[in-house]
Structure 1
């Protein structure tokens, strides 16, 4: 997936039948890192026709926005930065109007107000931010027509009389409309002034864009010419923006995605939904409902996950649902569930993941109450490889448990359910007030005590799973689920695997004890070391003696025995000869 947002842009502006062009437009697509931090900006303004200086207002509004927006702190959100800049421009224009001694020039009879409409489109990562004041329009191509993304701020007095209800420079303060929409590759946005969209039908605009292919500049000129031919007496300005590639996205956009779409409803299979043929219910819980579905376009079988009725109004739960696909698309491992590529726009909020035929590790444990240690090692090694793939991308799963691990018919292990995954750099508003994520029995004591999850927390969970597979029990019994403080965590008592399943090697018990240590600083630094110690005695661990040479290297042992015997025989022969 591309790492940068890539755009194609076509623009055209002309005076039309007017003596001067009071419209102004501009666009700025910066280089990295500004493109990732601030996005690309496209702006359009239309000065009021009754003012001789409104062209100054429209030019000032666009130029100051394209300059000042990129000078705002990177820590500001797009909404905050754009609103501050637009508000400052409005104040300046209004002050200029009030200072102008020719405000009502009796000689010229012309209004000298610095007043203009203003609309801006900021494309950052996978989100379009729309800021709007006045009656210029921003629309998106949908099929053969246009979807208006702005609402005209025009007050209609009668069939032939109307006036602007909002404009920059008209008052000391201005109300700015703001909305966000998700963007995808192939999206086309169109910005126009009223001299164009009041005289050209949406289907004609879309047809002109399609007819000119990659030449968006020619498409803009054709649309302006059509408005002129249809009798427009105003200035004519058109901007066309096409999304050629979208980046992987930013976790901070998840909240916007939740606001963009309504949660998907509960489905009643068999039924059709959003381009999928929903076949049957796979799983239902208080958190979500999962359905087996077939993509009508590709024919692929997928698992479609929608929020439960109880969580439809919970923004945090909906963000976790969105997070599942977000994570699955960014980590590549045969031991992590994948998400198929998204090929079309969605009407509702839900998650689509690959469908894997198999059973959960929880079911596997019921079918194999006393598995062989080697079978446990093979499963744990695959779990560890999946978790390590997350850790390499600075992600912590946070909810590793047998129910979230799938084993297919080929005995390949996959980790599922990334809704609780913690991503480095993700700043969640109100996170301190959210409930703890994960399942108590498998959650590390430091997380229960309120500390943020870390790779060591996942290592603890993997250790608990391995212990449970070997013994059918938990290493600290029910006490671990009540360790909500550091003091309680220190009082946890580890139960040796030998007490639950005699005969297991002592070095296996020592490895498990280290993996699930209540103190994260005393656990393994990496899962690779843990899975190694499950197979090989580690003499540095308490209770593990250094294995005899016969155990460590039997070939070398017998070679040395043979050498010793040969030397003994040689000594006897020499003795007899003497």
Structure 2
């Protein structure tokens, strides 16, 4: 991928931090912040966190340090395609499980002696603040001359006092409070442990921060003021001020504008060290060449058409294709080699897949067997699951974008239309394009401007399976005429089972469910659809199970007569006993 660049208007913050053991011998609080740069800043954001170990435990400071360090390191190791909520929640949940297990291994009789702490985390990405909270540490925002709490303590009343109702490491599973807040330049957030906010004077805090040229010094002042007010606990405060908000675009758009579209290379020539072997495909949008990299491997080199030079969105998506290909590790999805060479122009490099498209395969096999169809659909489903596990949607699944190699391995290609939740979150002001896929295979909810999900990819897969078995489409051209939810529900499914295409009724029902106009009525998992292509579903069996009297009247009456005869014998025995 071309080297990372940073927009002139990226997210910029000022951070001040201070922590003290106070009147205690050991500081069981821990805090930290991480401000990356380049594309990591754009896609993952800035993370700030603090944790407060419980005073009854001798090892809670280890828990606090682990909770913060794990979040600040592991969060940035999660897939870039994931949203902040998914990434941070999974890291926090994994850390909680580890802390709980450590307490069990150490033989702690109760959570009060274990690896237990609170956690408050603030992740700033694009123009949003993402808050994660467990326990009674707090996150605040300064609003004018007052301090607004953004979290609610997880405490419960016990006798005459209160105890933590929720904490990291207290149980194997943890419930995390999560919320988002829009950002404005000048916003100030504070993260505090109870040794600070139970003793501070809010007005004095806002004055200190308003007058501060050094936020670290301001944080120390707030800690010292809480100590002077009588705090007998550890004290930690973090101050985060939003200085500059990013522009409403992502780094792919910036990169697309920076790099020029190179002239089309000649066969036998080179481009940045890639030897051009032959042209594979070309149209009004792009040209694909088979090339040889400097290490000898064969790759596909794709150059956008000069017709797209003024289409920023098309070029942005063009660049994303390689980025996505590198982040999905599946034998059923086109990959991209990790090449470090600098690039002089706008082009992408992906794996070269030698084979034929599913469209060509369908033309060569107009009457495929059920098992052939099942095999191809199952492989496509595996590729789609690789997308969905990373919070991505393919969005342009059609026979032309499915490749089958000589060994029969199926791979999804053309990833430029994919929806990536984490990337969209990084540029929320940039609206997603409308319908990116081909109308005949696109789910109806796209046309009615309703929310989409992985079930939208399932619809496309169902249409492909239907077409492979019948040669036509389940709704013809009706889908492209949809404009409202009411239009969507008027779609009329054309049964796949007919004289020309004999198949079990349960197979036709599986297809009908996959392409149902209502996404909620489609299968609950891709694996459920592929399983229903092999055997009747439980719901089908229950719905079509006929009583024995209808299926085999003779057997029913014979069994009934036998039962009555036995009953008569038993009754006679009772009567004469």
> Under a length normalisation based on structure 2, what TM-score does the superposition of the two structures give?
0.52
What is the CA–CA distance in structure 2 between the aligned matches of 1:459 and 1:328, rounded to whole Å? 20
* Structure 1, unpaired ranges of 5+: 2-27, 41-71, 79-250, 550-578
CA-CA distance at 1:252 after TM superposition:
3.5
* Structure 2, unpaired ranges of 5+: 2-16, 18-30, 48-121, 129-248, 549-577
1:290 to 288, 291, 301: 288
Q: What per-residue deviation string (whole Å, max 9, x for no partner) do you get for residues 129-186 of structure 1?
A: xxxxxxxxxxxxxxxxxxxxxxxxxxxxxxxxxxxxxxxxxxxxxxxxxxxxxxxxxx
User: Residue 339 of structure 2 corresponds to which residue in structure 1?
Assistant: 342
CA-CA distance at 1:484 after TM superposition:
2.6
Residue 74, structure 1, aligned to residue 124, structure 2: yes
CA-CA distance at 1:286 after TM superposition:
2.1
Report matched runs for 1:508-523 at 5 Å: 508-523=507-522
2:267 to 266, 269, 273: 269
Greater gyration radius: 1
What is the CA–CA distance in structure 1 between the aligned matches of 2:264 and 2:486, rounded to whole Å? 44
Tell me if the contact between 1:511 and 1:541 (Cα under 8 Å) persists in the aligned partners.
no
Tell me if the contact between 2:397 and 2:460 (Cα under 8 Å) persists in the aligned partners.
yes
What is the CA–CA distance in structure 1 between the aligned matches of 2:253 and 2:369, rounded to whole Å? 46
Report matched runs for 1:173-184 at 5 Å: none
Q: 1:524 to 1:303 in 2, by over 3 A?
A: same
User: Residue 258 of structure 1 corresponds to which residue in structure 2?
Assistant: 256
Q: What per-residue deviation string (whole Å, max 9, x for no partner) do you get for residues 323-355 of structure 1?
A: 111111111110001101122111111111111
Q: 1:524 to 1:347 in 2, by over 3 A?
A: same
What is the CA–CA distance in structure 2 between the aligned matches of 1:268 and 1:395, rounded to whole Å? 36
CA-CA distance at 1:482 after TM superposition:
1.6
Q: What per-residue deviation string (whole Å, max 9, x for no partner) do you get for residues 356-386 of structure 1?
A: 1100000000000010011000000000000
Q: What per-residue deviation string (whole Å, max 9, x for no partner) do you get for residues 296-316 of structure 1?
A: x21111111111122122111
Report matched runs for 1:292-307 at 5 Å: 292-295=290-293, 297-307=294-304
User: Residue 364 of structure 1 corresponds to which residue in structure 2?
Assistant: 361
CA-CA distance at 1:525 after TM superposition:
1.9
Q: 1:525 to 1:408 in 2, by over 3 A?
A: same
CA-CA distance at 1:485 after TM superposition:
2.1
User: Residue 434 of structure 1 corresponds to which residue in structure 2?
Assistant: 433
User: Residue 492 of structure 1 corresponds to which residue in structure 2?
Assistant: 491
User: Residue 463 of structure 1 corresponds to which residue in structure 2?
Assistant: 462
1:373 to 360, 370, 373: 370
CA-CA distance at 1:466 after TM superposition:
0.3
User: Residue 402 of structure 2 corresponds to which residue in structure 1?
Assistant: 405
CA-CA distance at 1:542 after TM superposition:
8.6
What is the CA–CA distance in structure 1 between the aligned matches of 2:404 and 2:547, rounded to whole Å? 37
Equivalences, count = 320
What is the CA–CA distance in structure 1 between the aligned matches of 2:435 and 2:33, rounded to whole Å? 36
Tell me if the contact between 2:286 and 2:304 (Cα under 8 Å) persists in the aligned partners.
yes
Q: 1:548 to 1:357 in 2, by over 3 A?
A: farther
Q: 1:356 to 1:31 in 2, by over 3 A?
A: farther
Tell me if the contact between 1:538 and 1:546 (Cα under 8 Å) persists in the aligned partners.
no
Report matched runs for 1:211-250 at 5 Å: none
Q: 1:496 to 1:443 in 2, by over 3 A?
A: same
2:380 to 372, 380, 383: 383
Tell me if the contact between 1:471 and 1:500 (Cα under 8 Å) persists in the aligned partners.
no
Q: What per-residue deviation string (whole Å, max 9, x for no partner) do you get for residues 94-153 of structure 1?
A: xxxxxxxxxxxxxxxxxxxxxxxxxxxxxxxxxxxxxxxxxxxxxxxxxxxxxxxxxxxx
What is the CA–CA distance in structure 1 between the aligned matches of 2:439 and 2:351, rounded to whole Å? 28
Q: Which has the higher contact order (CA 8 A, sep 6+)?
A: 2
CA-CA distance at 1:435 after TM superposition:
4.0
User: Residue 138 of structure 1 corresponds to which residue in structure 2?
Assistant: none
CA-CA distance at 1:464 after TM superposition:
0.3
Tell me if the contact between 2:393 and 2:418 (Cα under 8 Å) persists in the aligned partners.
yes
SS at match of 2:536: coil
